[in-house]
Amino acid sequence: MSDGLTATRPELPAGLRGRRDPFAPLHENALAALLRDPRHPGSASAAVPVGGAPLPVTRYADGVERINLGTGNYLGLAGDPRVAEAATDALHRYGTSTSGSRVLNGTSRLHLQLEEELADFYGTEAAVLTSSGVNANVALLSTACAPGDVLLVDAHVHASLHAAAAASRGTVQRWRHNDLDALVARLEALDERAGAVVVVDGVYSMTGEIAPLAAITELCERYGARLVVDEAHGLGVLGAGGRGAGEALGIADRVDAVTIALSKSLASVGGAVMTTRAAADGMRASAMPYVFSAANDPASVGAALASLRILRAEPERVTRLQDGCALLRQVLADAGAAPISGEGAVVAVPTGADEVTGLAWKTAFAQGVYTNAVAYPAVPRGKGVLRLTVMATHTPAQLREAGEVVAAAVHAARAALDPPVPAPREVVA
């Protein structure tokens, strides 16, 4: 029987009991045990069901409304009636499912419209729609590179980029996060015949840091490397038009491929790759997430298309979001809980030890603020953070209140442990 902390482990068939159980890593996963324990004060308890849309003040399954600083709904469009209406219209017209991949029966005019408008928005020749942001990265990197080519991946990119690069036929080499000297060393050591792809996040999802894209772009041009930028957390957040870090830093037209997730600013589910027509055609012909996965459901495509059109028509949302991020960072700094330096809508408050992270999360949650408690492996061991995310629809009063609550929660968590835990001296995201 399960004791609530560990799941019952099925026995192997009698004839196989002399073998190691290949499911043992699943049955014995420590994080899984943590997730099964609702009493644990750590990051697992932060997976609290919501009882409504991810609005600035969200109702949770316990019936309590809290200021929500834990969602990727950056532009506040996930609860916008226009987006809901577009999703409903698509549902009624095209049904609940495409029931097939894009190369079979899964392409509708709606899919093509979204691809056309995304390509136009980013100024690229083409866009390839995928069923998730993870799959956008897999579709691109798994089909790029031949044997002998190299993918140079920033060590702190999103996990999907690491997995996608590993699926490529090229060799994967990591370089120290945002360390240009480390990147130069990798580029210098390349075989002069090898193709090279540099892979970065525009905005790093756990810390809100921005990649030094201007310098990286110059290095790619100097050494003849392609540049891939994941703008999942830059879209709708940075740049005058909300196109991300590439636009904000003035190098958008020098990026070879941009990947995005539709689940953040575009209030939907899915992903896309914006690149050249030739590269897009290559993915359509051979990328597993495109060829072998069911196409995005019509409602999600309708929602994303409506959100993209609102973003283009109302760029002031981006400005409001940027102002809100600056305000929250200032409130936290003034309260002695300065976040990691960044410019995205992710605001990461260093907590350090898992015990501090978990207790700070619980305290803030009890006092009416929802955050994300982030510990290893999402960040290095001992470098935990409370990850706060801002929406364009948060009011200044909500952000001030939430920032003060979070700062007080972090201070109280450090002081409550015996012996008290000091603030981290240095945070390496």
The DSSP secondary structure of 345-357, one letter per residue, reads SEEEEEEESHHHH
Note the pLDDT of residue 52: 84
**Do 293 and 101 meet the contact criterion of CB atoms below 8 Å apart?**
yes
**Of residues 250 and 5, more confidently modeled:** 250
Domain that holds residue 309: 81-313
Distance CA 68, CA 55 (A): 7
Which of 313, 343, 362 corresponds to the end of one domain?
313
3-state helix, strand, coil in the chain (%, to 5): 40, 15, 45
Distance CA 398, CA 368 (A): 11
Of the listed ranges 17-21, 316-320, 350-354, the one predicted with least confidence: 17-21
Work out the average pLDDT over 156-165. Answer: 96
130 plus 266 within the same structural domain: yes
* The model scores a pTM over 0.85: yes
188 plus 96 within the same structural domain: yes
Tell me if residue 344 falls in helix, strand or coil. Answer: coil
Distance CA 117, CA 240 (A): 18
Tokens found for residue 388: 């706060």
With a pLDDT cut of 70, the percent of the chain lying above it is 89
Average pLDDT, the chain: 91
Residue 26 in any domain: the answer is no
297 plus 325 within the same structural domain: no
Query: What CATH number is associated with residue 388?
Result: 3.90.1150.10
Note the pLDDT of residue 37: 53
Task: Indicate the burial class of 33 (C-beta count within 10 angstroms; 0-12, 13-18, 19 or more).
Answer: middle
**Do 280 and 130 meet the contact criterion of CB atoms below 8 Å apart?**
no
Half-sphere exposure of 8 (CA within 13 A, CB side): 4
Task: Indicate the burial class of 380 (C-beta count within 10 angstroms; 0-12, 13-18, 19 or more).
Answer: middle
Distance CA 160, CA 198 (A): 15
100 plus 200 within the same structural domain: yes
Distance CA 161, CA 260 (A): 12
Distance CA 360, CA 374 (A): 11
Tell me if residue 369 falls in helix, strand or coil. Answer: strand
Note the pLDDT of residue 423: 66
Note the pLDDT of residue 41: 44
Which of 298, 313, 328 corresponds to the end of one domain?
313
Of the listed ranges 13-17, 158-162, 342-346, the one predicted with least confidence: 13-17
Work out the average pLDDT over 347-367. Answer: 93
* Structure confidence by residue, pLDDT tens digits, 315-335: 999 999 999 999 999 999 999
* Structure confidence by residue, pLDDT tens digits, 68-88: 999 999 999 999 999 999 999
Distance CA 220, CA 323 (A): 32
Could you list the beta-strand ranges (E) of 36-167.
Answer: 57-59, 65-68, 126-130, 150-154
Q: How confident is the model at residue 30 (pLDDT cuts 50, 70, 90)?
A: low
Number of domains within the chain:
2
**Of residues 381 and 311, more confidently modeled:** 311
Which of 282, 313, 344 corresponds to the end of one domain?
313
Q: Give the chain's end-to-end CA distance (angstroms, integer).
A: 40
Residue 85 in any domain: the answer is yes
Does the pLDDT of residue 211 top 50, yes or no? yes
Note the pLDDT of residue 281: 97
Work out the average pLDDT over 206-231. Answer: 97
